[in-house]
Structure formats: structure tokens, C-alpha cells
């Protein structure tokens, strides 16, 4: 079986990070949480999969059309989606919090970066390179470096150094 991880060049990671700047910080944490699921405990992933399975069952009970579901089932679907969203966001936030000091130290070494202003492609490439070096993630989930770089840019240097 072929590995499903995508190995991206620094240029591709930079382009991905630049695209990620178009979404909000909360969504970036959810994206990061999703990316990190491949490197987390199986039981944690199983918890999210159980929510997804419950949603699938509810939707299938309505003939595959969520709009035909009773109000109580729609409320349950909403709760399950919210629970999954919050769990993934929490996972992303905890990861960034755990590495915040390393990120702060790594980014301080590059005095040319000003995260309070518009981030250029070359700035982003430097940030991605620094983050990739700090995180030393397995190649299969190295793409998470692009998401962390986008989060750093959204937080700005003031928040990162707080």
C-alpha cells in the first residue's frame, strides 16, 4: 500500500501557507488539528470517528438528505459537528502552545521578520523553513509546518512573544 502522506518542497509548503492566510485563526487551528490526527493516539482519533459514524447514521436514517431529518436529529448533528470542531481546534491550540517557546526562540533569530505587517512570500518561506527546522515532523505530516507558519502570521509577533 502506498503511503498517503504528501511530501512537499519548501516552495510548495510556502504556497500552501500563503493560501492558508485567507482563512481565520480558529479555522487554522482546526486544520492543524486535522493534520496532527495522523500522529496522535488511536483512541483520540477513534473518538472523532465515532462522532462521524453517528452523524452518518443519522443522515442515512433520513434517506441521505439531511434536510429531511427531524429537528431533534438536526440538533444532534449540530452538536456532533460542534464537538468534532472544538476537539480539532483544541488539539491545534494545544500543539501551538506546547511549541510556542521554541517558535519564539527560532523566530527571534531572524530579525528581518516583522509579523505585524503584510507577509511577503519570501517572509513566509523563511517562516516555513524555521518552523520546519523547529518541529522536525515526520515527512508524512511535515505539511503541518505550513499551517503552523500561517498561524504564526495570524497571531503576529506580539501574541507569539506574549
Averaged pLDDT, 114-120: 67
Mean pLDDT of the chain: 80
Residues 97-106 pLDDT 10s: 999 888 888 8
Which pLDDT does position 27 carry in this prediction? Answer: 96
Share of the chain above pLDDT 70, in %: 82
Note the pTM of the prediction, 2 decimals: 0.79
Which pLDDT does position 109 carry in this prediction? Answer: 64
Residue 156: exposed, middle, or buried by beta-carbon count in 10 A (0-12, 13-18, 19+)?
middle
> Which of 75 and 114 is assigned the larger pLDDT?
75
Which pLDDT does position 111 carry in this prediction? Answer: 57
Looking at the chain, list the stretches that DSSP marks H as alpha helix, in order from N- to C-terminal side: 10-20, 25-36, 42-61, 71-108, 121-135, 144-160
> Which of 1 and 60 is assigned the larger pLDDT?
60
Domain ranges of the chain: 10-160
At 27, list the grid cell: 479555522
Residues 136-157 pLDDT 10s: 877 767 788 899 999 998 887 5
Q: With 90 as the cut, is the pLDDT of residue 32 above it?
A: yes
Q: What separation in angstroms does the CA of 32 have from each of 50, 54, 137?
A: 20, 23, 13
CB atoms within 10 A of CB 52: 12
Amino acid at each position: 500500500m502506498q503511503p498517503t502522506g504528501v511530501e512537499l518542497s519548501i516552495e510548495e509548503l510556502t504556497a500552501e501557507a500563503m493560501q492558508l492566510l485567507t482563512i481565520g485563526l480558529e479555522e487554522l487551528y482546526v486544520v492543524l488539528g486535522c493534520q496532527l490526527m495522523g500522529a496522535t493516539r488511536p483512541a483520540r482519533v477513534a473518538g472523532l470517528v465515532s462522532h462521524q459514524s453517528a452523524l452518518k447514521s443519522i443522515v442515512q436514517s433520513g434517506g441521505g438528505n439531511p434536510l429531511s431529518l427531524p429537528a431533534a436529529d438536526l440538533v444532534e448533528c449540530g452538536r456532533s459537528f460542534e464537538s468534532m470542531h472544538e476537539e480539532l481546534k483544541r488539539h491545534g491550540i494545544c500543539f501551538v502552545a506546547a511549541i510556542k517557546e521554541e517558535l519564539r526562540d527560532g523566530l527571534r533569530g531572524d530579525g528581518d521578520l516583522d509579523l505585524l505587517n503584510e507577509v511577503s512570500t519570501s517572509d513566509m518561506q523563511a517562516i516555513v523553513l524555521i518552523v520546519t527546522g523547529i518541529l522536525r515532523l515526520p515527512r508524512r505530516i511535515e505539511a503541518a509546518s505550513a499551517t503552523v507558519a500561517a498561524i504564526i502570521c495570524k497571531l503576529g509577533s506580539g501574541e507569539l512573544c506574549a
